[in-house]
Amino acid sequence: MFVDKVAITVCAGKGGNGAVSFRREKYVPAGGPDGGDGGRGGNVVLVADENMSTLMDFRYKRKYIAENGMDGSGRQKTGRDGKDLIIKVPMGTIVRDKETGAVIKDISDKEPFILARGGRGGRGNRHFATPVRQAPRFAKPGAPGQNREVVLELKLLADVGLVGFPNVGKSTLLSVVSKANPKIANYHFTTLFPNLGVVYVDEGSSFVMADIPGIIEGASEGAGLGYDFLRHIERCRLIIHVVDASGSEGRDPVEDFNTINDELARYSEVLASRPQLVAANKTDILDNPEVLEKFREYVQAQGYRLFEVSAVTQKGVRELIFAAAEELKKLPPIRVFEPEYVEPEIPLETADDLKIEAEDGIFFIEGPWMERLLDRVNLSDSESRLYFDKVLRNAGVFERLEAMGIMDGDTVAIYNWEFIYKK
């Protein structure tokens, strides 16, 4: 079964708890605190797998949970990090936020993507020792990992998409120009799911072609197979519009051509504006040449190039493929969908639960609000750091620090992070 859209829930691992421990060794008086930190929770990571062509694996399993981090222990031993959960998806999978529909990531390369980050490990009590508080009997719990509800949507990575009415010869055309083996039969809706094939044009020249299930009039209202499968040619740089020029089923090629283009426009104006080559197929069984000439004049008047082909006898197929290859050289690369999702801002009014303490020139900031904020930012990224700074400033954290007498160059400790304060 071909599955190209599923909703799943992913849960990153919780960070391990910090340990409360004190050094106990013979001949070492007042050993002091030595509780280790908890390990980081496992991330949920998406990786593209070229051997997958459907989201079938997600049909029965909808929840994915990464491993929790281990708790810290005495002798300053840090708990083991939770193992990352690797989820394989087909190349070309788009990850959307379930609630908003915004694009989180387009998995169109082999670079792993962290969909949900594991929680930070809690700090052991050794971090909280000061000249005044020499034996802290507390540690910090691990932070929870991110939870996400997302929709995985497969959009095939293909250079050329074949569109047209059912039974016009799209699958036959794909089979003769590539090594793909789609099901071919003389009845409507033989093709129930998209097929991909690599077309080798010449030495060092090739492109990927997608055969899309047939569209009929009213597809936008759900007639036939609907047009859900058109998502698979949204990335295509070029469309080959296959039309039955023989009129073997009593249809008019001009009407067919206009009907399909109207359905494309209803689905997406961007898709309808894609460059097209028109393949007048089944010319080997053409009874009335006037039908073909009328169709040619109409297509050319619309500004399209028409190719007389027969997928069965392969007449004109080579010329069509070479024309497609030349057209692709002029077109931009396959579309990659840019991320649209923006993490919702944390309500600023909840910052009142922050606890700020000063010890020996170090300002410690902690509290549930800060934990939630740190879970939503990536401090290794410059844009994320700017967002972090903006949220702290808007929440009045800087004002509270200045009221407590912080000076330039003082250290601000926020859980496992330390910052140098600058006005």
CATH at 380:
3.30.300.350
Tell the burial category of 380 from Cβ atoms under 10 Å away from its Cβ (0-12, 13-18, 19+).
Answer: exposed
Q: Check whether residue 89 and residue 183 sit in a common domain.
A: no
Task: Report the CATH number that the domain containing residue 66 is assigned in CATH.
Answer: 2.70.210.12
**Amino acid 160: pLDDT:** 92
Q: Using pLDDT thresholds of 50, 70 and 90, give the confidence band for residue 9.
A: very high
Whether the pLDDT of residue 1 is over 90: the answer is no
| Contact by Cβ (8 Å): 278, 241 | yes
Whether 183 has a pLDDT exceeding 70, the answer reads no
Asked if residue 136 has pLDDT above 60, the reply is: yes
Confidence at residue 387, expressed as pLDDT on a 0 to 100 scale: 80
The answer to whether residues 26 and 126 belong to one domain is: yes
Angle made by CA atoms 297, 303, 304, in degrees to the nearest 5: 80
pLDDT in tens, 43-81: 999 999 988 878 888 988 999 999 999 999 988 899 999
Residues forming beta bridges with residue 6, ordered by sequence position: 152
48 and 146 housed in the same domain: yes
Are both 76 and 96 inside the same structural domain? yes
Domain count, the chain: 3
pLDDT in tens, 364-423: 888 878 877 877 777 877 777 888 888 888 888 898 898 888 888 888 888 777 888 887
CA 211 to the chain's CA centroid: 23
Domain presence at residue 172: yes
Residue 149 located in a structural domain: yes
Categorize the per-residue pLDDT at 107 as very low, low, confident or very high, splitting at 50, 70 and 90.
Answer: very high
Query: pLDDT confidence of 216, banded at 50, 70, 90?
Result: low
Looking at the fold, whether 145 and 74 belong to one and the same domain comes out as yes
Residue where a domain terminates, one of 296, 330, 364: 330
In a domain? residue 299: yes
pLDDT of residue 158: 85
What is the model's pLDDT at position 26? 72
Residues 113 and 137 occupy one common structural domain: yes
Comparing 287 with 109, which gets the higher pLDDT? Answer: 109
Give residue 385's pLDDT.
82
Q: In terms of pLDDT, which residue wins out, 150 or 25?
A: 150
Q: 300 and 367, same structural domain? A: no
Please check whether residue 224 lies inside any domain of the structure.
yes
Mean pLDDT, range 171-183, rounded to an integer: 81
pTM: 0.71
Domain that holds residue 377: 343-423
- The pLDDT tens digits for 271-309 are 888 899 999 998 888 878 888 899 999 999 999 999 999
Quick one: 139 and 16 in the same domain?
A: yes
Least confident of 57-61, 127-131, 166-170, 369-373: 127-131
The pLDDT tens digits for 223-279 are 545 566 777 778 889 999 999 988 777 788 999 999 889 888 888 888 888 899 999
Q: Is residue 57 part of a domain?
A: yes
pLDDT at 22 over 80: yes
Q: Would 335 be classed as within a structural domain?
A: no
Which CATH number does the domain housing residue 208 bear?
3.40.50.300
Shared-domain flag, residues 294 and 347: no
Least Cα distance to 326 among 207, 410, 232 occurs for 207
pLDDT at 115 (0 to 100) = 95
pLDDT value of position 138: 73
248 touches 188 (CB < 8 A): no
52 belongs to a structural domain: yes
- For residue 157, which of 226, 116, 109, 115 has the smallest C-alpha distance? 109
Q: Which of 132, 154, 176 is the last residue of a domain?
A: 154
Q: In this structure, is residue 337 part of a structural domain?
A: no
Q: Residue 120: CB partners within 8 Å, gap ≥ 6?
A: 15, 40, 41, 142, 143, 374, 375, 415, 416
- Please tell me whether residues 146 and 259 are part of one structural domain: no
- Let me know whether 322 and 271 are in one domain: yes
- The larger pLDDT score, comparing residue 236 to residue 140, is at 236
**Within this chain, do residues 7 and 117 fall inside the same structural domain, yes or no?**
yes
Of 272, 307, 330, which residue is a domain's last? 330
191 has pLDDT over 60: no
Average pLDDT of the chain is 84
For the segment 163-177, the average pLDDT, to the nearest whole number, is 88
Task: Please report, to the nearest 10 degrees, the dihedral formed by the alpha carbons of residues 196, 201, 204, 205 taken in order.
Answer: -70
